[in-house]
Structure 1
């Protein structure tokens, strides 16, 4: 008789109960330990930071906590935060009253309009004797909270550490690697543990964005008073002072920031290094800004400043790539980068594109007109339209703008070979008070004298006398600009036939000139050395000096000097080639921004003057 078949162990009731229990425990453990579902967020996507929901009863947290969240997020190479100015612009387009705060609903509207992936909504409240800092991650399209992150702080002084904790959780939740998050510098160390300092800093940055420079400076100073080692406040004030052309005053703040630079996050250290070079007496910080731009591709300061220095060196194609990267809506300062794009387009004879860029820049800054737009119209020979733009310029806001207004009027007259008009333009603004700009204005007069062949030797000698004490301050951060003005003076003296003065200045200052790192200075030195050879009756040596620098980034006046050398050599073919280059590069003649655009009027004069070969 066959034995009755036995049921498998898993079919027996006791075993079945145990197996089910084990499965439930396993399922529960998996539910607890499983990774959170991935969020549809890609590297370098954008978020909108909403205002802080402050239920702590302390107004101090309103601005300081939001700035703390922003600073912590800005350490990420993975997450980008939409700028305050871009949010303000988007609010305007949505016709939202300015008095309404950026609550979660409005932040979601802005994010949906700007294509930002998520809204980051921070909050703080008191609970059972401690602070609870939280951040909700909101999908702006579904208006739903998809994740929430929280951390506790026992006291207000611990709130910054709690922000670090919460933002670290947020960054990991968005998909950033744990290793990347762990590389971030703790927020109290990276910025400040003093909430009052942080609030003043936040208000300073806001005032700067509204171009309220005096208010911004006082707020930076308040932040520094609250925490003398607040590096970012020192950097902010130094940056503002440079913008106000107070470079010497900016240096102590830069030095203080450098003293504590190891506390800063990596991006801020790169930024500070670039500024240190920016304010050195032999400055050429292109490589520093380019490293910042390449390592942090959404660092608008890196992109814009890299583009500017490439533009200064007439490297238009390279400059355009960086300018395009910085001319995006998320860049709070994109109006200035778009203007740089206009210069690049003008320098490459794309006049219609340049006109559109300058108009766009004017719209973004709320100006009715700007002198660069008149430059493009002059290049297009639309003189009546250029005059109309000049009539809208209004009163200059500072000495530099006053010089720019004179410059464009000179340009308009020079392009029509109108010496009377050029001299009238020189008297259109009051003389600058600062020593550097006073020298620059005198050099503008020397440019007119050179173009109109009416120069006086005493005028050039007087400029050399004014320059002497400025050049003696060899540690001043304005030294590179002063060296370029010196070389311009030497070149103008050579063009006017005063080789005695030119040779004396070359002999006196050449050792100082060769110490400079700026390649534009190097090219101008080569030019004046070539002109020196022409003055000695050695045009072949001048050609030998000039030809190696003709790589497309040479100054326009290098072609004028080379043309003169070939004229003296009687080389009609090469002489005509230089004439043709000058004729075909009309936009380039106007777009040279080096040396505060000093030589533009002479450039256009030399492109329109009737240069014929005299044997």
Structure 2
């Protein structure tokens, strides 16, 4: 070895007169003899010269005095933090020496044990004659020296152990180590007995993930052993075991690990940023995403999403790029109700890639568990992640059988290509940043690198969903389905549920219910099921339960789930409760359109408030989204009897839709224009009939284009057109609509379309002189909560013509009382909404006509007054004005 300066202080020939408190660091280079033997004398000598240069540089950096050296080092420091800084940098430096070609070629690893203690020592300098004879320049003695030596002997290779005296002093000054101090792990290994030391000592470890073992030291027979209480010694344990066996309890607890953190099934964790200490950028986003994918396979552990973490950072007044270190991640966990923080690290140690992770208690920010796994090469990291997450899940309390059942190797259920995984991770980031074009480009790159990467196809499908491209959604999900054997059980269930949305309703609902049964905290699944129950099954109350389940604080889309609650409550005619939910959604950060919020006010006939909230603009930017504003304006104008404004808005919407994609927007606006014409009767019945029949022919001819939104969209339009024909008593129109869908199976399996089909059959009966048959067909359907508004409207007509006045009035009263349902029901993809809303007001007029017919003129007059309070006489079209005039003449006669 080269000569190192041992002390720059003036020489003293006498012993120090009194003990001085100093920090002692003792290290031992592991297997140094083996190094010489494997390398050979000359290469070993060169390696040790590099080692000594490292020691010299660190000694000067950390202000240490080298007292002794051989296979190890004895150094003195004024402060514990200097000794710790030396030890940590020494550990890193040895790893760099292990990367030398001659060392790596022989698969050798340079590691050292280290013990750090603070205590009183006596120091003196030997005389020059003694030094020339081989003595050390500076001597150090005192009980602190053997105690540091015992710590060093007890340490594992690469481990830095501290005494209970040194640990608090070093920890208090840890910030002086710079940025890495935030990532240090401080771990207690309990009390130990050390030979020659009278009392038991608590021993601590400090280290960096990827460098330090972070494991309990190995007992060293005669020199160090655990300080075990009497009740835990072998003889006492044997007696206790016999007692336990005798009692016969606690067997269940032996089948699962007992976590040292109060973690329960379905609790939440926050995953901090992955620390990449390898210098390989490809591992940054890719391994962090892989860690999440692996952990999210668990049905026991819930992982807080990246998007929710970003939302919470915003509430904390921090930017989205804020590093999720121990402190920040712990604060997020406390805010969002997460029970633990997991901090992953990847490092290169001795030529091998080490993946490690700590479980942190967010209340104390202390490390509860730490697991690691090593592999060769960057690609080995995926397998190591699986091993580490499996160990963590077990220690958090998940049963081993559950881990084995619900886990598949990362390379199988994601990709074994790190570049593809990184592109996927960057795509997700762009997706959450509302950059769909960038996201789709990244996902395409990921699948170009690895065509089997099913998760990337699913992510692309979701991005297409965000911009309303239905064919794009189906295309990407179909690609994922072709590679379904590369999906984990959870993602496979999700894909099947998503694909089921393109088919019959009942099997689709069952798929989502199965997913929720397996993963009860899957907020996306609860949200989708709530939407589907409302839109495609008219089951508002059942949908509300799932919307509530999706509204937890851990959901990054909580505002959307709360908005959905507002829609469902309004549809249940609990309008005031619905308005509270809409208001809460904006407090939670909702940035969508205010259409449904405005509709809730309109359902109460508070049109001033409806117009006020309608001014909130959606952050959409899509063409279809821009068409919604005239729809609301038309709807609200119609609901107030302002037919001129309603007609103008319908013309505006039709004009805008002519350049819109997809084509269904134009088809729907053409239907709305016809709806207004049937209500107004602005032209003779024969002309209206011809217009409806022409539109039926038009829809049939363009079905391939309109069906881009759904395979049965043309059938939806045909059923709606048939319903309009029924409203003007046009039997040819009803028959034409029924004939158009007669040979189609696309509407079968869709309960709302089945209801509309029954409505048209009933209208066909009524218009054929079979009003009683029509009433009998619809009455059982109308008794169900999920009955469409159109069912009640058609039943009121049939019962009225069959002279079943009581039944007819009940239906009309139902319409008046269910304005919230009329506004929120989504039959025929919303195409029937204007007609439904108008019927809630027309019901008063029709009830007045029924009452007048039966001689109840006072009641009829009251109902007519209610009608005119909503639709003033001076705004009515001629057809309705004539009906009002007839009633007024009857009441005055």
Instruction: Give the alignment's TM-score, normalised by structure 1.
Output: 0.91
CA distance in 2, matches of 1:29, 1:62: 47
CA distance in 2, matches of 1:158, 1:595: 53
Structure 2 residue 408 is the aligned partner of structure 1 residue 185: yes
Match of 2:828 among 570, 595, 601: 595
Indicate the larger mover: 465-474 or 324-333: 465-474
Match of 2:478 among 241, 255, 261: 255
CA distance in 2, matches of 1:538, 1:586: 30
| 1:286 positional shift | 1.5
Deviations 1:54-111 (CA, angstroms, capped at 9, x unpaired): 1110111111111111101110000001112221121111112333211221101111
Are the equivalent residues in 1 in contact too, given 2:452–2:486 (CA < 8 A)? no
CA distance in 1, matches of 2:827, 2:341: 43
Indicate the larger mover: 70-79 or 346-355: 346-355
Identify the residue that residue 202 of structure 1 maps to in structure 2: 425
Structure 2 residue 571 is the aligned partner of structure 1 residue 347: yes
Identify the residue that residue 376 of structure 1 maps to in structure 2: 600
| 1:395 positional shift | 9.3
Indicate the larger mover: 592-601 or 227-236: 592-601
Structure 2 residue 301 is the aligned partner of structure 1 residue 53: no
CA distance in 2, matches of 1:171, 1:369: 41
Structure 2 residue 507 is the aligned partner of structure 1 residue 274: no
Structure 2 residue 681 is the aligned partner of structure 1 residue 453: yes
Identify the residue that residue 407 of structure 1 maps to in structure 2: 631
Structure 2 residue 667 is the aligned partner of structure 1 residue 439: yes
Deviations 1:130-173 (CA, angstroms, capped at 9, x unpaired): 10100000001001001000001201111101000000000001
Match of 2:337 among 86, 90, 115: 115
Identify the residue that residue 499 of structure 1 maps to in structure 2: 731
Identify the residue that residue 3 of structure 1 maps to in structure 2: none
Query: May I ask how many residue pairs the two structures share in their alignment?
Result: 595
Does the C-alpha gap of structure 1 residues 514 and 401 become closer, same or farther in structure 2, counting only changes over 3 Å? Answer: closer
Where in structure 2 are the equivalents of 1:153-192 lying within 5 Å?
153-183=375-405, 184-192=407-415
CA distance in 2, matches of 1:458, 1:218: 49
Does the C-alpha gap of structure 1 residues 596 and 579 become closer, same or farther in structure 2, counting only changes over 3 Å? Answer: same
Identify the residue that residue 13 of structure 1 maps to in structure 2: none
Instruction: Give the alignment's TM-score, normalised by structure 2.
Output: 0.63
CA distance in 2, matches of 1:221, 1:472: 28
Identify the residue that residue 423 of structure 1 maps to in structure 2: 647
Identify the residue that residue 488 of structure 1 maps to in structure 2: 720
CA distance in 2, matches of 1:340, 1:303: 11
Identify the residue that residue 566 of structure 1 maps to in structure 2: 799
Tell me which protein shows more strand as a share of its residues. 2
Structure 2 residue 285 is the aligned partner of structure 1 residue 63: yes
| 1:128 positional shift | 1.0
Are the equivalent residues in 2 in contact too, given 1:414–1:602 (CA < 8 A)? no
Identify the residue that residue 764 of structure 2 maps to in structure 1: 532
CA distance in 1, matches of 2:747, 2:792: 25
CA distance in 2, matches of 1:414, 1:336: 28
Indicate the larger mover: 92-101 or 292-301: 92-101
CA distance in 2, matches of 1:365, 1:532: 49
Are the equivalent residues in 2 in contact too, given 1:531–1:542 (CA < 8 A)? yes
Structure 2 residue 493 is the aligned partner of structure 1 residue 265: no
Question: What is the DSSP-based 3-state SS (H/G/I as helix, E as strand, rest coil) of the residue aligned with 2:744?
Answer: helix
CA distance in 2, matches of 1:110, 1:350: 35
Are the equivalent residues in 1 in contact too, given 2:592–2:619 (CA < 8 A)? no
Does the C-alpha gap of structure 1 residues 62 and 469 become closer, same or farther in structure 2, counting only changes over 3 Å? Answer: farther
Are the equivalent residues in 1 in contact too, given 2:447–2:457 (CA < 8 A)? yes
| 1:472 positional shift | 5.0
CA distance in 2, matches of 1:27, 1:51: 47
Identify the residue that residue 355 of structure 2 maps to in structure 1: 133
Are the equivalent residues in 1 in contact too, given 2:257–2:395 (CA < 8 A)? no
CA distance in 1, matches of 2:524, 2:345: 30
Identify the residue that residue 311 of structure 1 maps to in structure 2: 534
Does the C-alpha gap of structure 1 residues 36 and 563 become closer, same or farther in structure 2, counting only changes over 3 Å? Answer: closer
RMSD: 2.8
| 1:307 positional shift | 0.8
CA distance in 1, matches of 2:505, 2:333: 44
Are the equivalent residues in 2 in contact too, given 1:282–1:479 (CA < 8 A)? no
Indicate the larger mover: 518-527 or 388-397: 388-397
Identify the residue that residue 808 of structure 2 maps to in structure 1: 575
| 1:473 positional shift | 7.6
Tell me which protein shows more helix as a share of its residues. 1
| 1:254 positional shift | 2.1
Identify the residue that residue 335 of structure 1 maps to in structure 2: 559
Are the equivalent residues in 2 in contact too, given 1:50–1:102 (CA < 8 A)? yes
- Higher Rg of the two aligned structures: 2
Does the C-alpha gap of structure 1 residues 594 and 212 become closer, same or farther in structure 2, counting only changes over 3 Å? Answer: farther
Are the equivalent residues in 1 in contact too, given 2:696–2:736 (CA < 8 A)? no
Any gaps of 5 or more consecutive residues in structure 2? Answer: 1-221, 239-253, 854-893
Question: What is the DSSP-based 3-state SS (H/G/I as helix, E as strand, rest coil) of the residue aligned with 1:42?
Answer: coil
Does the C-alpha gap of structure 1 residues 387 and 174 become closer, same or farther in structure 2, counting only changes over 3 Å? Answer: same
| 1:297 positional shift | 0.6
Are the equivalent residues in 1 in contact too, given 2:333–2:362 (CA < 8 A)? yes
Indicate the larger mover: 431-440 or 72-81: 431-440
CA distance in 1, matches of 2:707, 2:669: 23
Structure 2 residue 599 is the aligned partner of structure 1 residue 367: no
Structure 2 residue 617 is the aligned partner of structure 1 residue 393: yes
Higher relative contact order, structure no. (Cα contacts within 8 Å, ≥ 6 residues apart):
1
Deviations 1:21-73 (CA, angstroms, capped at 9, x unpaired): 9x99959999xx99775431000000001000111101111111111111011
| 1:176 positional shift | 0.1
